[in-house]
Structure 1
């Protein structure tokens, strides 16, 4: 099953491009689902058809679904939220305020992606196109499975044992309800489901497509997104530059825009060298409906296969050497001063700006020491060597 995710800064037209790509895939004979996880759904508007929280057929082999994020939130978070509410109730917190305090910002958008897991397990689809929430919300997903995994492996087992042993004493002493097995099980289920989603999205048949408009601010965010997506192992397979003013027939006002956009588009080509950059011209009317969307996508991809699986090993790989191994992690646009690196047991902690990833090292690397690290041509390279021969250092050079 081919999985394509579209993301970008709010208002750049990612929903339109995602819908058009899905329409083109269905026209090519692929049973296609386009799925919106954005709380501000707009697929129904794009297709000009009523769309609900279950897959709705809008054309032959083309189905659309706008995920009910609130429902997914209630299904996956209800038991955890219920316990938190009981604790806040004992503390005397107002019920309305307590309910707000027990909702993680962005959780609905993240949990909506659990719908993707169900569709992957169903085996009904050849292609799933995901119209993600704007970039900031989408990136919340990236760190969550690994961070939760760290808690599950190191903290939760101990916490469960402590609570079982001390529950009667703690409940009487503090007057606060202690978590039961049901709560721990709910957290474990949530982690397992999110981990499956992460595996799907970072797998060989999945990739992310960035949508932008030719504006300096939008390009800057797209570059940051490319870095963050690579940090967490997500493969970016191309960029769609949307709403490009055509040069022909431009009056003086539009000619000024053409010049300004050309300058930014040159930066786009340079920034994403090695990736296809497709362009979508500004249209005289908004494309609405399956036919209009399919026509737009056909013009954007201009004969290229929009479902082509990206080649290569992805942003994360390990190369074996005579003295040990080298870990390669693609970090586009990053300089060495922006990267923090630390070793904690069998984990490598990589920090880039405000994002941090805990990389659990394969067994073959975990027994080795970090012998050096450097950032070179947009890639972090960490050298590992046998402890008997390594002059261990974790400084990034």
Structure 2
């Protein structure tokens, strides 16, 4: 589906060109699966980390997570080691880990993959970048990684402490800068993924009973992670039996995200060349410019003022299982858990000085209530 979308026709955006711009540049298809069938399907030999042309206007970039991780980790540990003096214990431990010892540092590998995709998207070489996430166990785990890693960095070594340490102990300046760079990349990727002017996500599931069960959860996680979904597609070609109720479930999921629905019919014969992929007629919807889910959250003061004020934060949030909703707080983030998936939602500045007092959910809208925390709420000086 991703390959067919990359080599097929694309609808032009009418409201915004986003970061990728316009013009006659080509399309880049990115695969993240080491065993992806796409290179064989389009008849090319993949060169890891370098785009390879697959048609007159499309190229393929095959990313191997480990090959992206090792050189970046070497650069990071080199910056840490260049300080030449004592550092924080956790930083020293990280600096002692060799690239070859890494198998999976939580969130770091995923961030590097997304950063590599971001660099291609903002390079000016491509009109469209299509990312194939089908080889991943849970695509939303990939999308959550930058937010989770940024939160971990902030908890282990908050930015204000990093800046203070760098100013008081110049030997830590390079260490602080290296950590800051990782944190900036996290926030940059988060902004790119949730930017409705640049990103258009496509949920593709089989149109059988399994896809019908998956869609409500996927729609809920898309709203939670602010992923701007533009299209919900049912793939008849991978469904053993097409479900009679699939269209209704897909329409409900798409309506809540402001997306459209499509059905991809099964085809005879193998999809083993670009010409056959094009016959599928896959159209890649452009970004809409409309934020979804937590990116479209509304914050209002509904009662009182000062320390007696009550604030509400509301956004459209489907819940496949309302009893599995969980809320927590960690620093400047609201931790929301839906169907076993936890995501840190960054709070606006006024709510960072508040405590959560309760929450309600009705008609697919989640409303979280806050009250000012006297310990950190600013007060007016008395005369």
The reply to whether TM is greater than 0.5 is yes
| Among candidates 326, 337, 340, match of residue 340 of structure 1 | 326
Contact 1:160 1:184 in 2 (8 A): yes
Cα separation, partners in 2 of 1:285 and 1:160, compared to 1, 3 Å = same
Structure 2, unaligned stretches of length 5 or more? 13-23, 82-89, 304-309, 375-383
Equivalence for 2:246: 265
> What is the Cα deviation at residue 72 of structure 1?
1.0
Contact 1:81 1:102 in 2 (8 A): no
Equivalence for 1:374: 360
> Whole-Å Cα distance in 1 between the matches of residues 122 and 57 of structure 2?
19
Matches within 5 A, 1:122-161: 122-157=123-158
SS of structure 2 residue aligned to 1:261: coil
* 1:214 to 2:207 alignment: yes
> Whole-Å Cα distance in 2 between the matches of residues 224 and 232 of structure 1?
12
Contact 1:318 1:325 in 2 (8 A): no
* 1:292 to 2:276 alignment: yes
Cα separation, partners in 2 of 1:183 and 1:217, compared to 1, 3 Å = farther
Q: So what's the TM-score if we normalise by structure 2?
A: 0.72
Cα separation, partners in 2 of 1:41 and 1:184, compared to 1, 3 Å = farther
Contact 1:231 1:329 in 2 (8 A): no
Contact 1:243 1:283 in 2 (8 A): no
* 1:54 to 2:34 alignment: no
SS of structure 1 residue aligned to 2:234: strand
SS of structure 2 residue aligned to 1:233: coil
Equivalence for 2:8: 24
Deviations 1:238-285 (A, max 9, x none): 222113499xxxxxxxxxx6xx41425245435525142211111111
> What is the Cα deviation at residue 50 of structure 1?
3.0
Contact 1:146 1:358 in 2 (8 A): yes
Matches within 5 A, 1:159-198: 185-198=177-190
Equivalence for 2:193: 201
> Whole-Å Cα distance in 2 between the matches of residues 270 and 344 of structure 1?
35
The farther-off stretch of 286-295 and 318-327 is: 318-327
Equivalence for 1:226: 219
The farther-off stretch of 345-354 and 33-42 is: 345-354
* 1:66 to 2:62 alignment: yes
* 1:75 to 2:53 alignment: no
SS of structure 2 residue aligned to 1:210: strand
> What is the Cα deviation at residue 384 of structure 1?
4.0
| Among candidates 30, 35, 38, match of residue 30 of structure 2 | 35
> What is the Cα deviation at residue 286 of structure 1?
1.8
* 1:351 to 2:346 alignment: no
Contact 1:25 1:307 in 2 (8 A): no
| Structure with the higher helix share, 1 or 2 | 1
Aligned residue pairs, count: 337
Contact 1:347 1:359 in 2 (8 A): yes
Deviations 1:163-191 (A, max 9, x none): 999xxxxxxxxxxxxx9776665444333
